[in-house]
Chain A
């Protein structure tokens, strides 16, 4: 229930920001009777309605729940450090992506993740990380003609 209240607050905040940004859109002088602001304005109203309905659901949930019973919503922050670590490592991967190139950066990133989530299988992890990175790089550049950063690789 606490989570739902936070969603209501976040929705109201988003509606305010979206409304503000909508008003910054320039209206064309001629040609379009409805204008580019019409749909965003309707969506702001839609956001407010969704926030209102969610608030009503929260109230209804509180009424029907017996005193002392916990809310059935899962805690959104059960493992906050896990997702932060994933985001941090993936951002690091993106940074290496343009510097080292796709194949090397991906091999390093994959090995790091596999070492954590598939521990004790060093040989399999190294072979999979290196094999997949090089194989997918060659497949996309040679077969599909995609432009993928080579980075430090000579090919």
Chain B
């Protein structure tokens, strides 16, 4: 009953005119960002953090969450019209979506993508509403050892699943943890790796790293693409912006299945929307009576993956809000935003700030309705964004990055650091080192080290504390398995080639 009251009160917060406005601004920015190829949700949320500084935390977080799930709607537009996903999770949509557009069914592809996203997004938020309280109650029983092992599992899972090489994922994770050790150690008061630079005493700002590695690095890659002359022309919307009865009949199943799959995968650390949409696509192809149509414009190939990558966002909010452990790059940036507003996500959030957490969750119901309106009748308007020259857009993003970073502390050193991390992100992309593990470990490092040291202090330095309870032992086992599996699977395949 108490939870029900909190949910109702949350609607009171979400329906406040100011929060409705920020929900709208968030989903609008999300749609725009999703449509524009190159700039993903992580970079956009990072760029918005400085602007939300002066805001009420609930309003700021509602807006940033709007950007996060809004990008998923917009991402399908470019996937369908120019075969260039606006964000990674729309890769699968581009296969059949683009073929539908070539067959004169661009309108139908965009419509089923918006409808599927709406249904899945709303179902995902319903599941988030149901899961949040039981999970946060369980998490309240966690001690420092359980928290440390939980974060260890999250980091190893993300390291293993990001990119092609698990070793590079691990390297990226450790680099993030190393960056987080710069500054004054809060427990001993000693300086670590500051090299005598006064600005480093408070550590390397999270915003500096995220803006550099996501926003600036993406701009460098985009400008390089223009420089080398590899741009894609956009297709015009053709056909009615609606679906036929037959197309709806074919899409219903994939949308339901994609919604469930996406939500469950979203809860797992590291998996994310890309894997959810990939699994949905392969499932639909396997279940289809006409699998040969896939790749040639099958509407199931758009409906399922789009549903999966939208309900994934609600799933990803479950561990972030209930455990305080993000499962990927964008939720890691969201967690950074929470912390910068002085709020620690986790089980206590539901007890201490029910207005904020339920206001945020309930705003997602409203945001999904707004997104449906923005992405169906108004999609023709947004598609015009595709015709903005990238040569104008990318330089503006550099200026926004610089202004946003400088506005926080007025520090020139931080601008040089943004440039450094921008170049580092560009190099990471060239050598295929994934960036999300670095950002995730940077966000979790502080609380992870604190839990580690607390657990060891309580156990008089005995490391057995990390496997002494059932929960922490299971999490350590899962961390070891997630790290070992990517190395073992190829070897097992080599041993049993006949089974491939």
Nearest CB in chain A: distance from B335 CB, A: 20
Q: A47-B178, A76-B427 are in contact. List 5 more A-B contacts (CB 8 A).
A: A11-B171, A31-B188, A43-B181, A74-B430, A117-B395
**Complex Cα–Cα for A4 and B390 (A):** 32
Closest 4 pairs (CB-CB, A-B) = A118-B391, A117-B391, A53-B167, A113-B395
Task: Point out the residues of chain B lying under 8 angstroms from A106, CB to CB.
Answer: 399, 402-403
Quote the shortest CB–CB distance from B132 to chain A (angstroms).
Answer: 31
CA distance A114 to B28 in the complex (A): 26
A110 to chain B, nearest CB (A): 5
B interface residues (Cβ-Cβ under 8 A, vs A): 51, 53-54, 165-168, 170-171, 174, 177-178, 181, 185, 187-193, 220, 223-224, 226-228, 389-392, 394-396, 398-400, 402-403, 406-407, 410, 412, 415-416, 419, 423, 426-427, 430-433, 449, 452-453, 456-457, 460-461, 487, 490
The distance from the CB of B190 to the nearest CB of chain A, in whole angstroms, is 5
Within the complex, the shortest CB–CB distance from B187 to chain A, in Å, comes to 5
| A36-B177 in contact given A94-B415, A148-B403 (Cβ < 8 Å) | no
Give residues in A with beta carbon < 8 Å to B: 3-4, 7, 11, 18, 21, 25-28, 31-36, 38-40, 43, 46-47, 49-51, 53-54, 56-57, 60, 73-76, 78-79, 82-83, 86-87, 90-91, 93-94, 97-98, 102, 106, 109-110, 113-114, 116-119, 121, 124-125, 128-129, 132-133, 136, 140, 144-148
A-B contact pairs, 26 of them (CB 8 A): A7-B168, A7-B171, A11-B171, A25-B192, A28-B190, A32-B187, A36-B190, A39-B452, A40-B181, A40-B193, A46-B177, A47-B174, A47-B178, A50-B167, A50-B170, A53-B170, A56-B167, A57-B165, A73-B431, A75-B430, A97-B415, A117-B223, A117-B226, A117-B227, A140-B407, A144-B407
Taken together as a complex, chains A and B put the C-alpha atoms of A147 and B53 apart, in Å, by: 14
| Main secondary structure on A side of the interface with B | helix
Residue with the highest number of chain B CB atoms closer than 10 Å, among A21, A82, A86, A140: A86
Q: How far is B457's CA from A36's CA once the two chains are assembled, in angstroms?
A: 13
On whether A40 and B192 interact (CB within 8 A), knowing A18-B178, A73-B431, A145-B54, the answer reads yes
Inter-subunit contact B396/A110 (CB<8 Å): yes
C-alpha spacing A45/B443, complex, angstroms: 21
Cβ of A147 and Cβ of B410 under 8 Å apart?
yes
Nearest-CB residue, chain A, relative to B226: A117
A62 to nearest B CB, angstroms?
A: 14
In contact, B403 and A46 (Cβ under 8 angstroms): no
Q: Of all chain A residues, which has the CB nearest B491?
A: A60
Query: For A93, what are the chain B residues with a Cβ–Cβ distance below 8 Å?
Result: 402
| Most central of B51, B224, B430, B452 by chain A CB within 10 Å | B430
A82 pairs with B189, CB closer than 8 A: no
Which residues of A sit under 8 angstroms from B399, Cβ to Cβ? 106, 109-110, 132-133, 136
Point out the residues of chain A lying under 8 angstroms from B416, CB to CB. 94
> A34 contacts which of B54, B165, B457 (Cβ < 8 Å)?
B457
- Taking CB atoms, residues of chain B closer than 8 Å to A140 are 403, 407
B181 touches A39 (CB 8 A): yes
The smallest beta-carbon distance between A128 and chain B, in angstroms, is 6
How many angstroms from the CA of A56 to the CA of B165 in the assembled complex?
Answer: 11
Q: Is the CB of B190 within 8 A of A50?
A: no
Residue of B nearest to A133 (CB): B399
Give the distance in Å from the alpha carbon of A130 to the alpha carbon of B188 in the complex. 50
Instruction: Please indicate which of the listed interface residues B171, B430, B453 has the most CB atoms of chain A within 10 Å of its own CB.
Output: B171
Partner of A113, one of B171, B178, B398, B456: B398
Please indicate the chain B residues that have their CB under 8 angstroms from the CB of A98 in the complex: 412
Contact A38 to B167, CB < 8 A, known contacts A94-B412, A97-B415, A110-B395:
no
Q: Is the CB of B223 within 8 A of A54?
A: no
Task: Select B487's contact among A31, A53, A132, beta carbons within 8 Å.
Answer: A53
What chain B residues lie within 8 Å of A28 (beta carbons)?
A: 188-190
Query: Which of B171, B391, B456 contacts A114 (CB under 8 A)?
Result: B391
Residue of A nearest to B460 (CB): A33
Which residues of the partner chain B approach A124 to less than 8 Å between Cβ atoms?
392
Interchain CB contact under 8 A, A79 and B395: no
Question: For the complex, what is the distance from the CA of A91 to the CA of B177, rounded to whole Å?
Answer: 28
Which chain B residues lie closer than 8 Å to A11 at the CB level?
A: 171
The docked-state distance in angstroms from the alpha carbon of A148 to that of B406 is 8
Least distance between A135 CB and chain B CB atoms (Å):
11
B396, A34: Cβ atoms closer than 8 Å: no
Given known A-B contacts A38-B453, A117-B395, A144-B54, A43 and B174 have beta carbons under 8 A apart: yes
Are B433 and A114 in contact, with the CB atoms below 8 A?
no
- A91: shortest Cβ distance to chain B, in Å? 7
CB–CB A43/B391 < 8 A:
no
Please, which residues of chain A bring their CB within 8 A of the CB of B487? 53, 56
Residues of A within 8 A of B190 (CB): 25-28, 36
Whether B392 pairs with A118 at a CB distance below 8 angstroms is yes
Max chain B Cβ within 10 angstroms of own Cβ: one of A49, A53, A74: A53
How far, in whole Å, are A103 and B395 apart by their CA atoms in the complex? 14
Q: In the complex the two chains form, what is the Cα distance from A109 to B460 in whole Å?
A: 57
Contact B188 A32 (CB under 8 A): yes
The docked-state distance in angstroms from the alpha carbon of A34 to that of B412 is 35
Which of A40, A56, A73 contacts B432 (CB under 8 A)? A73
A102 touches B419 (CB 8 A): no
Bound-complex Cα distance A102 to B412 (A): 12
Residues on the B chain within 8 Å of A33, using CB: 456-457, 460-461
Q: Are A144 and B51 in contact (CB under 8 A)?
A: yes
Q: A54-B167, A91-B419 are in contact. Are A46 and B407 (CB under 8 A)?
A: no
Q: How far is the CA of A100 from the CA of B476 in the complex (A)?
A: 55
Known interface pairs A50-B170, A50-B171; A79-B224 also in contact (CB < 8 Å): yes
- Do B453 and A34 touch across chains, with their CB atoms under 8 A apart? yes
Write out the residue numbers on chain B whose beta carbons fall within 8 Å of the beta carbon of A75.
430
